Amino acid sequence: MAQIEHPAVTNFRNYIRIKTVQPNPDYASCTKFLEGQAKELGADCQVVECVPGKPIVLMTVVGQDPDLPSLLLNSHTDVVPVFPEHWKYDPFSAHKDEKGDIYGRGTQDMKCVGIQYLEALKYLKKEGHKFLRTIHLSFMPDEEIGGIDGMAEFIETDIFKKLKVGFALDEGYANPTEKYTVFYGERTVLWVYVKCPGQPGHGSQFLPNTAGEKLQRVINSFLNFRSQQKQLLKEDKDLNLGDVTSVNLTMLQGGVQFNVVPSELCVGFDVRVTPTIGENKFEDMIKSWCKEAGDDVTYEFKHIAPGSHSESKDEYPNLTCVEDGKNPWWDAFSQACKDEGIKLVKQIFPAATDCRFLRKVNIPALGFSPMNKTPILLHHHNEFLNEKIFMRGVEIYTTIIPTLANLKI
């Protein structure tokens, strides 16, 4: 006899089936689905469009003292593209196999967390729980392409400011061990574009001061630093990816034909700067590398997301205090995890999330996706999450959410 599926799992699978895949996410169907979830929860709901066609679904459970700083439970609705030919099952079918593994784009990143918030709150309200602080659930668009038309715009609005957010939870990722990972910061994203001008001429000559020679020096400097950081991570077993700075050459541009030495060559790098180095120090390094390559070699920063109205590098406070006794929000979160028997691993997130925008306005935020004993498959083919792990995450939030929402400080 087939086992009856828990309604929370069914809800999760239905969410996965909504094709909010970039670059053309079905936000209309997603919004309709989430509005139904808000009605089921009994939460106030509004849809905010800071940018037309990019809906933010905002749900609110009003607390007993709405004047206190609120708790924000954030997630994003969009998912990254798929290559269906590499998947065992249709990536939007939410297929569940005999082991209970649910396959689909967004199962880990991060539709699971959005539904876990909702299902935990449904359970808590059904059990008669009251919350001292107001709880907001935000479902954001476009996080997977930088969040520029999502959270970056939202934090500037009066609507956001009126939420009076005191603390926020957002996404993390899975941990393949028995432990759970919590992220208290993330690396700064720098997209660096270096221009190397030089003496043009015929390809048969040994011309001085060529763009190619300067480009070589620039590339060597960046990639030598990359090798140092890679070796540091390899040799120190206590370090994680977020503790070092990654550098990857991602763009090369220039040249007109084989027998013409170009007047300019350009190179682009994707750099993720760890807070222990900091972007200002890293920029000083870039300046020195460019000067060593040639006095006329220049660089500029491109924003994290294409189409941004800004091309400045991120300058956000990247860390939330996770030292016991120094941050009451951390103490509450940590205690709730202890109450659930959870062992936490504290790390710096190696990529970028909407947390960075929250920290920009001095809101402490933690990245946490309650998935243990699970391979890290965000953005991978055959992304999946086991239904038992998913349901355990709901249980965990039934402890974490009231602990944070009832914090007295």
- In the predicted model, is pLDDT for residue 351 greater than 50? yes
User: Which whole number is the average pLDDT over 264-286?
Assistant: 94
What's the whole-number average pLDDT of the chain? 95
**Radius of gyration for the chain, computed over Cα atoms and rounded to the nearest angstrom:** 23
Tell which CATH architecture fits domain 7-186+318-405: 3-Layer(aba) Sandwich (3.40)
Asked whether residue 307 carries a pLDDT value surpassing 50, the answer given is no
State the average pLDDT over residues 362-368: 97
pLDDT in tens, 149-159: 999 999 999 99
Q: What tens digit of pLDDT does each residue of 46-72 get?
A: 999 999 999 999 999 999 999 999 999
In this predicted structure, the answer to whether residue 325 has a pLDDT above a threshold of 50 is: yes
Return the bridge partners of 301, or none.
Answer: 192
132, 405 contact by CB (below 8 A): yes
Which whole number is the average pLDDT over 205-221? Answer: 98
Residues 252 and 268: their CA atoms lie apart, in Å, by 6
> What HEC string does the chain produce?
CCCCCCHHHHHHHHHHCCCCECCCCCHHHHHHHHHHHHHHHCCEEEEECCCCCCCEEEEEECCCCCCCCEEEEEEECCECCCCHHHCCCCCCCCCECCCCEEECCCCCCCHHHHHHHHHHHHHHHHCCCCCCCCEEEEEECCHHHCCCCCHHHHCCCHHHHCCCEEEEEECCCCECCCCEEEEEEECEEEEEEEEEECCCEECCCCCCCCHHHHHHHHHHHHHHHHHHHHHHHHHCCCCCHHHCCEEEEEEEEECCCCCEECCEEEEEEEEEECCCCCHHHHHHHHHHHHHHHCCCCEEEEECCCCCCCCCCCCCCCCECCCCCCCCHHHHHHHHHHHHCCCCEEEEEECCCCCHHHHHHCCCCEEEECCCECCCCCCCCCCCEEEHHHHHHHHHHHHHHHHHHHCCCC
pLDDT at 1 over 60: no
What CA–CA distance (Å, rounded) separates 407 from 237?
36
Instruction: Look up the CATH number of domain 188-302.
Output: 3.30.70.360
pLDDT at 309: 36
Q: Decide: 63 and 124 in contact? Cβ < 8 Å.
A: no
Residue 143 pLDDT > 80: yes
Range with the poorest average pLDDT among 160-174, 199-213, 348-362: 348-362
The predicted model gives 265-271 an average pLDDT of: 97
Q: What is the model's pLDDT at position 278?
A: 85
- As annotated, the active-site residues are 78, 143
Confidence of residue 279 (pLDDT cuts 50, 70, 90): confident
Give percent of the chain above pLDDT 90.
92
- Enumerate the domain spans of the chain: 7-186+318-405, 188-302
SS3 letters across 56-72? EEEEEECCCCCCCCEEE
373-408 tens-digit pLDDT:
999 999 999 999 999 999 999 999 999 999 999 999
Threshold 0.75, pTM exceeds:
yes
From 337, 348, 349, select the one nearest 393 (Cα to Cα): 337
Output the pLDDT for position 302: 86
Q: Compute the average pLDDT of residues 323-344.
A: 98
The mean pLDDT value for 240-244 works out to 95
Please give the average per-residue pLDDT across 271-295, as a whole number: 94
Identify the pLDDT of residue 96.
98
Residue type, 281: K
The dihedral region occupied by 94, where left means phi > 0, alpha psi between -120 and 50, and beta the remainder, is left
Please tell me the predicted confidence (pLDDT) of residue 189. 87
